[in-house]
Structure 1
Amino acid sequence: MKNIGFLSFGHWTPSPHSRTQSAQDALLQSIDLAVAAEELGADGAYYRVHHFARQLASPFPLLAAIGARTSRIEIGTGVIDMRYENPLHFAEDAGAADLISGGRLQLGISRGSPEQVIDGWRHFGHRPAEGESDADMARRHTEAALQVLTGEGFAEPNPRPMFPNPPGLLRPEPHSPGLRERLWWGAGSDATARWAARQGMNLMSSTLKDDETGEPFHVQQRRQIEAFRHEWEGHDHGFTPRVSVSRSIVALTSDQDRAYFLGQREAQDQVGMLDERTRAIFGRSYIGEPEELVQELARDEAVAAADTLLITVPNQLGVDYNAHLMESILTAVAPPLGWR
C-alpha cells in the first residue's frame, strides 16, 4: 500500500492553448483539483512553490483554502524554498493553515532550486551571514523554524502587555501540535538526505538528484533513501519517518491521452548540469498503456522503497483532465502493483 497524491507546478500562461490563463485560474483550479482528488480517493494534494514566476508562489493562503474545502486528503508543498522564508512568519502561517485543515499539512521544504532572478531571496530581505552560502542560509532558516515549531516558549513577555499573557516565555501563535513531525526536506543528494535525518525531517525526493554514482536514476534514489533511513536509526526523534518520491506517470486510456502524450515517451534518464558545478540526473517519464506501466513501475527501485508517491500533473490542461489522469492511475495502475 502506498500514499498516492499529485504534485502540481501551478503554471499559468495567457496562451490560447492553456486552460490556466491567469494567476487566479491557477489558484482556484488548484483548490478544485484537490477537491476532485479527494473524491477519487487520492491521498495527497501537493504544490510547487516558485518565486518570480508564473507559478504558485504563496503557499499558505492556498493550503488554508484547500483545508477548508476538503476533509481527508493530505495537503502539502514540494517544496518551499527556505532561502526566502522568515522562520517565525513561516511557523505562524503554517500553524494557522494546519489548524484550518485539522492537522493535514505535510510541508516539503528545501534549500531551493535555480531561480528566475539573480539572488531572488535578497529582494525578500534575506542575506547570508559572513562566510555562509545561500544554501547554508536556507538550512539556518530551517533549523530556526523547526525549533519554533516545537512549541516551546522563548520570548520574554512584556510586563505591561496589551492583553494578558499565559505564564512563562511566549511563542508565536497559533501553534499546531504535531506539525513539527510533518516537515519534509527536499534532498538533492545523499548528504542532504542524511542531514534531513539528523534534523528529524521526513524525506522528499524529486524527479532529479545529483548524479553521484553514474547509476540509473531510480537506483541512485533508492540508495539515497537507504542513506536517509540508516542515518535516522542513529537518532531518537520519537516517530517513524516517511519517504516520498515524485514521478511523471501518464496512463494512456483514451484517444485524447494518446494525442497529448504518445509522442512524449522518455524511456531513458537524462543527465545535465543543474548549475556550473552540479551534474544532475533526471528520471525518465512513464507514459504508456496501463499494462506497460505496471511492468515498468514494478522495476523502479525507489518507488518500491518509498511509502508515498507524488505524480506530477500537467495543470494547464484543466481540472477535469487532470482528475481523469489521476483516476486512471488509481484504478488501472495502482491495484495490479499492490498500491491499492
Structure 2
Amino acid sequence: MHAMKKIGFLSFGHWTPSPQSQTRSAADALLQSIELAVAAEELGADGAYFRVHHFARQLSAPFPLLAAIGARTRRIEIGTAVIDMRYENPLYMAEDAGAADLIAGGRLQLGISRGSPEQVIDGWRHFGYAPAEGQTEADMARQHTEVLLDVLKGEGFAQPNPRPMFPNPPGLLRVEPHAAGLRERIWWGSSSNATAVWAAKLGMHLQSSTLKNDETGEPFHVQQAKQIRAYRAAWQEAGHSRTPRVSVSRSIFALVSDMDRLYFGRSGQDGDQIGFIDDRTQAIFGRSYAAEPETLVRQLAQDEAIAEADTLLLTVPNQLGVDYNAHVIETILTQVAPALGWR
C-alpha cells in the first residue's frame, strides 16, 4: 500500500443559466474556480485540478485559468484532468503551458489524454485536426502528445533566420518561454491497461479516473488497482530515475450536516455501473461514496485503487457554489483523510 500523500479537488466547471445553479455563466465558472482553488489552499489541500471539455457549458480553455490561479496562490499544485490532445497544437500548448507554469512558480501538473466522447461529432476537425491516412483519432492524440513531450525538453530544433528582427542565442531555437521541469510533470489519463503501460514508457505520471475499460469483469477498484500495478512495473522496466506518481479520482461526500444529507444522503452507490463509451468499448464506472465520516473511512479502506495511488482527487459539485464546496473539501481533509494515512 502506498501512503496517501496528496489530496486535491477535481472540478468539471459546469455552468447552467438555471435558477437552481450557483454557477450560471462561463464567467461564474471561471471566477469561482479561482476562488475555490484559493480556499482549498487555505484549507491545506494539495491540488486544484480541472477537467477540459470543448463545445460544452464547462471549462474548456485551461491555461488562462491555471495562470490566474497560479498568480493568486503560493503552494497548491495546479493541474488538469484531463486535456484532450486530439484538439491541441502541441507547440502552441507548450508556450501556453510554459507561461502558466512560470507564473505559478513551477506548480503545474498537466493531465492529458486521448479524450473521451465529446459533445459534437469529431469536434477536433473544427479545430483543424484530422488523423493521417490509416490512423485513428487516438493515434493522432498520442502523436500530438509525443511532439509536446519532445518540445517541453527545451532543446533547440528550429533554424534561425539569418537576418532576425532581434538577436538570437547561438544554435537552433526552441519554443519560448521554456519552463524547466514541466516535462517531468505531465500525466496521462488512461482508461486501459495498455495505455497506462505506454504512458509509463514515456515517463508520464498516471491519472486513472472513475471510468475504466472493463477488461476483466472484476469490480472497478480491483481492475484499477491492477492497472496501477501494471503501470508501476512498466515504469520500473523503462529504467526512469524519477518516482512515478498515480492519482485516482472519486466522488466522496461526508454527511455531517442537514445540507449534506439533503444533497447527497441518497447518492452513495453500493456498486459499480457498466456502460459503453463508444460502439466497441464496454466501460465500468466506479461507485460514489456518501456516508458519515466513520463509515467513509471503513468503505475507503476497502478501495484497492485508493490504496495503490499516492494522490486522491475529490470530484466536486461545482454548481453548489464555492462555500459549499470548500465545506465538502474541509470535511474530508479533517474527518476522513487522516485515517487513510494522509499527512
- Paired residues of 2:267 and 2:289 also in contact (CA < 8 A): no
Structure 2 counterpart SS, 1:296: helix
Structure-1 residue corresponding to 2:265:
262
What amino acid is the match of 2:329? M
What amino acid is the match of 1:91? A
Structure-2 residue corresponding to 1:185:
188
Give 1:79 deviation, angstroms. Answer: 0.2
Structure-2 residue corresponding to 1:92:
95
**1:305-336 Cα distance to aligned partner (Å, 9 max, x none):** 00000000000000000000000000000112
Give 1:239 deviation, angstroms. Answer: 1.1
Structure 1 counterpart SS, 2:168: coil
Structure-2 residue corresponding to 1:300:
303
- Distance across 2 between alignment mates of 1:173 and 1:339: 38
**Alignment equivalent of 2:149, drawn from 140, 146, 150:** 146
- Distance across 2 between alignment mates of 1:123 and 1:301: 41
What amino acid is the match of 1:328? T
- Distance across 1 between alignment mates of 2:337 and 2:268: 20
Structure-2 residue corresponding to 1:23:
26
Structure-2 residue corresponding to 1:42:
45
**1:105 is aligned to 2:115:** no
**Alignment equivalent of 1:159, drawn from 139, 149, 162:** 162
**1:173 is aligned to 2:176:** yes
What amino acid is the match of 2:207? M
**1:67 is aligned to 2:96:** no
- Distance across 1 between alignment mates of 2:5 and 2:323: 24
Give 1:238 deviation, angstroms. Answer: 3.0
Structure 2 counterpart SS, 1:263: coil
**1:214 is aligned to 2:197:** no
- Distance across 2 between alignment mates of 1:304 and 1:263: 25
Structure 2 counterpart SS, 1:95: helix
**1:115-140 Cα distance to aligned partner (Å, 9 max, x none):** 10000000000010111100000000
Structure-2 residue corresponding to 1:238:
241
- Distance across 2 between alignment mates of 1:236 and 1:276: 37
- Distance across 2 between alignment mates of 1:333 and 1:161: 59
**1:272-316 Cα distance to aligned partner (Å, 9 max, x none):** 111110000000001000000000000100000000000000000
Unaligned stretches of 5+ residues in structure 2 = none
Structure-1 residue corresponding to 2:61:
58
Deviating beyond 4 angstroms after TM superposition, the runs of 4 or more aligned structure 1 residues are none
Structure-1 residue corresponding to 2:289:
286
- Return the TM-score normalized by structure 1: 0.99
- Distance across 2 between alignment mates of 1:337 and 1:136: 38
Structure 1 counterpart SS, 2:237: coil
- Paired residues of 2:98 and 2:179 also in contact (CA < 8 A): yes
- Paired residues of 2:51 and 2:59 also in contact (CA < 8 A): yes
**Alignment equivalent of 2:201, drawn from 182, 198, 223:** 198
Structure 1 counterpart SS, 2:129: coil
Identity rate of aligned residues, in percent? 76
Give 1:169 deviation, angstroms. Answer: 0.4
Structure 1 counterpart SS, 2:334: helix
Give 1:240 deviation, angstroms. Answer: 1.1
What amino acid is the match of 2:309? A
**Alignment equivalent of 1:9, drawn from 12, 20, 44:** 12
- Distance across 1 between alignment mates of 2:327 and 2:60: 26
**1:329 is aligned to 2:335:** no
What amino acid is the match of 2:175? P
Number of residue-to-residue matches in the alignment:
340
Structure of higher RCO (CA pairs closer than 8 Å, 6+ residues apart)? 2
- Distance across 2 between alignment mates of 1:39 and 1:308: 19
- Distance across 1 between alignment mates of 2:139 and 2:241: 26
- Distance across 2 between alignment mates of 1:264 and 1:305: 25
